Structure 1
Amino acid sequence: MKEERIVVPANGYLMLLLFLVLFFGGIVAIVLTQTGWPVFAIVASLILMFGFVMVQPNNSRVLLLFGKYVGTIKKNGFYWVNPFYTKKKISLRASNFDSERLKVNDKLGNPIMISTILVWRVTNTYKAAFDVDNFENFVRVQTDAAVRKLASMYPYDNFADEGHDEDITLRSSVNEVSEALEKEIEERLLIAGIEVLEARIGYLAYAQEIANAMLKRQQATAIVAARHKIVEGAVSMVEMALEELSKKDIVELDEERKAAMVSNLMVVLCSDKDASPIVNAGTLNH
C-alpha cells in the first residue's frame, strides 16, 4: 500500500465500558469466589486499555501493525483500536516556517540576503510518515533550496542603464515572485504529502559588503531621473515663453537674444538654488 487509507475505529466509550466491567468485575469475582480464574478478565481488561486513542481536531493517528501500515484516523474523537497497533501522531494543522536569512547571488551575481515565510500543512499522512525520513526537517531543507534557486532566477532590482531591463525583479515584483516561490516549494514538498498554503519573501536586502555602494547607486539613479524631469519641464516652459512673446508681439528678439534668453531661463529653471535676479534699468543693448 502506497496511498493513505482512512479508517474509522471502534467507539472508545463502549470499549471503555467493557474495560470497566472486566476490570472491576474481575476484582469483585475474585473477592466473592476466592478463585483465580477472574484474573484472566483483569488481564484482558489491561490489554484492552492499550487500544484507547484520542484524536484531537486537526490531528491524526497513523496505525501500524508490526511495521505494516493499517490506516489513518483523521476524524477527531475517542476511539479504540487493536492494542498491538503502533499509533503515530501527525498534526494536520497549518504550520508557519520562517527560514533563516540566506546569503545568495541574484541573477546579476550580486550577493543578497533573503529569507522566506512559509505556511504549510500535511494532507497525506502516509507520504509524510513513510516517504521521507523527517517531514518537518524536509520542509526546512527544501524551502531553503527553493529560495536559493528563486534568487538566482531574478535580479534584485532593475538596472536599465546597464542593459538589464527585467520585467520581474525580487524587490518590485512581489506577487509574481511569491507565486513562483510557492510553485517551486510545492513541487518539492509534494513527495512528502505537504500542501503549501502561502509562501512569500520575508526579508530581502543587499549583502552588507555591497549595501552602501548600492544605496549610493540608487540615490544617483533617483537624482538623474529627477534632473531629467526638470530639464524636460524647463524646455517646455522656455518653448512656451518664446511662442507667447512672438505671438503677442511684446518684444522682437533676434537669434542672439533668443539664445541668451534661453540660456538664462534654463539656468533659472534647472538650478538647485533660487536665482538672484539682476534688473536691467537701461536698454536691451546695455
Structure 2
Amino acid sequence: MQEKNIVKLNGFFGAAAAVALAVIAFFCLREFILSDNMVLLGVAVFLIIGDAVLLTGFTVVQPNQSKVFTLFGTYLGVIKQEGFWLTIPFSSRKKVSLRVINFNSDRLKVNDLEGNPIEIAAVVVYKVVNSAKAVFDVENYHKFVHTQSEAGLRHITSQYPYDNFNNDFELSLRQHSDEVGNELTKDLQERLALAGVEVMEARIMHLAYSSEIASSMLQRQQAKAVLAARKVIVDGAVLMVKSAIDQLNHENVVDLDEEKKAQMVNNLMVALVSEKGNQPIVNTGTIY
C-alpha cells in the first residue's frame, strides 16, 4: 500500500454550498405549500437528500494527524494536511497519528554472545510516515512495533558480549552503548518498514546481569579490574627502575656490577609494586 492524495475541497466552501442547498430547499417547500406544485416538492426533496449526502463528506484533520479514506472496501487515499475538508461522501475514515511516539520495552532476559543471561530493556522513538501501510499492511501497527522491537532487541543482544576486558576494540553492550544503539536502530528500521514506520532512535535503557549470576560476574569484574590496575602499576614501576639505573650510570654516581644491579632492581620493584608501605633498611657497610 502506498499513500495517495484523495480528492478534497475546502470545507468552508462545501459548508456554504450545503447552506445554499438548504435555503433553496426551504423556499421550494414554501412555494409548494402556497401553490401545491408537485414539481417544487420533488425539487425540495432532491435538494434535501443532496444536502444530507453532502454533509457526510465533511472531515476535520488535526495537526500532525492523517486520515485514511475507504469507500465500500475500496482504498481512496489519505489527507495529511490539517484543516476542514470536504471529500467523497459516505467514505469511512481512520485516524493515524503522525506525532513522535516513544515507548519503553519490557525487561527481557536474553543470553549475550558469551552465553551469559542478562536483563536488557530499550527505549524506541518512532513515528508513522506512511499512513496507508500502517492501516492496511499490518493488523495493529502499535502492537506490531512493540513485538518487532523486542525481537530486534533480542537479536542484537545475542551478537555482543555484555562486557569485554580483553579487547578494547571489540564492541560490548556495556562499553559501547552508542554503537549498539545505532545497530539496533538499523535493525528495527528494516523490521518496521513494512508498517510504514520510521525509527528515529533506539537506545539501551537498562542493562544488568541476570540475578542468578550477578554476584559471580561482579567478582569476575572486580578481579579483572584488579589485574588491569596491577598491570599499570608494574609497567610504571619497570619504567621508573629503568630510568633510575640509566640515570645513575649516565651521571657516574655509582658503579654497579650485574649482581648489585639485580639487587637494586629487586629492591626498587618490591618498594614500588608492594601495596603496603615499606620500611627502608640502611646498609652502613661491614666492620670487616
**TM-score for the superposition, normalised by structure 1:** 0.88
Structure 2: how far apart are the matches of 1:83 and 1:130?
Answer: 21
Q: 1:51-130, aligned counterparts within 5 Å?
A: 51-130=57-136
Contact 2:160 2:171 in 1 (8 A): yes
Letter in 2 for 1:232: D
1: CA distance, partners of 2:121 / 2:131: 28
Q: Does 1:147 align with 2:116?
A: no
Counterpart in the other structure of 2:243: 240
Alpha-carbon distance in 1 for matches of 2:67, 2:257 = 94
Stretch moving more, 130-139 or 109-118: 109-118
Out of 245-254 and 59-68, give the one that drifted further. 245-254
Cα distance, 1:56–1:248 mapped onto 2, change above 3 Å? same
Q: Does 1:196 align with 2:199?
A: yes
- Report 1:1-286 matches (<5 A): 2-23=1-22, 26=25, 30=29, 34=33, 37=41, 38=44, 41-160=47-166, 167-280=170-283, 282-283=284-285
Gaps of 5+ in 1: none
C-alpha contact (below 8 Å) 1:106/1:156 kept by paired residues: yes
Structure 1: how far apart are the matches of 2:133 and 2:14?
31
Give 3-state SS (helix, strand or coil) of 2:6's partner: coil
Count of matched residue positions in the alignment of Structure 1 and Structure 2: 281
SS of equivalent residue, structure 1 residue 63: strand
SS in 2 for 1:209: coil
Q: CA RMSD, aligned part only?
A: 2.5
Displacement of 1:49 after TM fit?
2.1
Q: Are the equivalent residues in 2 in contact too, given 1:158–1:166 (CA < 8 A)?
A: no
Instruction: Give distance in 2, aligned partners of 1:13 and 1:165.
Output: 65
* Per-residue deviation, 1:276: 2.1
Q: CA deviation at 1:179?
A: 2.2
Alpha-carbon distance, 1:39 to partner: 5.4
Q: State percent identity of aligned pairs.
A: 47
Structure 1 distance, partners of 2:70, 2:264, is 93
Pairwise CA distance, 1:262: 2.1
Partner amino acid, structure 2, of 1:261: M
Tell me which amino acid in the other structure corresponds to 2:72. Answer: F
**2:215 aligns to what SS in structure 1?**
helix
